[in-house]
């Protein structure tokens, strides 16, 4: 299924990250990032960039969601200020 393929191909690194994330798959319509409180802190529509700056994010856990063809897939990541 499309959902299975999208989940297989999504890789977000490094994790934890300090200032940027790299996405292995940018073939989606929308990219959303939510903080621990459920607030959307980042939104990008196609065409998606493979490198996302998170330097302005507070340290903590985040949920990255890619939306493609009506399906969502997600990846959790941690933002840290320490190397």
pLDDT at 39: 98
Residue 45 token pair: 């529509």
pLDDT at residue 8, rounded to an integer? 46
> Distance (Å, rounded) from C-alpha 33 to C-alpha 20?
13
Digit-coded pLDDT (tens) for 26-73: 888 899 999 999 999 999 999 999 999 999 999 999 999 999 888 888
């Amino acid at each position: 299924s499309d959902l299975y393929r999208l989940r297989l191909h999504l890789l977000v690194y490094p994790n934890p990250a300090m200032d940027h994330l790299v996405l292995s798959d940018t073939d989606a319509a929308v990219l959303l990032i939510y903080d621990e409180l459920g607030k959307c802190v980042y939104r990008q529509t196609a065409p998606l960039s493979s490198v996302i700056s998170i330097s302005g994010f507070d340290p903590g856990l985040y949920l990255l969601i890619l939306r493609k063809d009506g399906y969502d897939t997600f990846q959790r990541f941690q933002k840290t200020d320490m190397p």
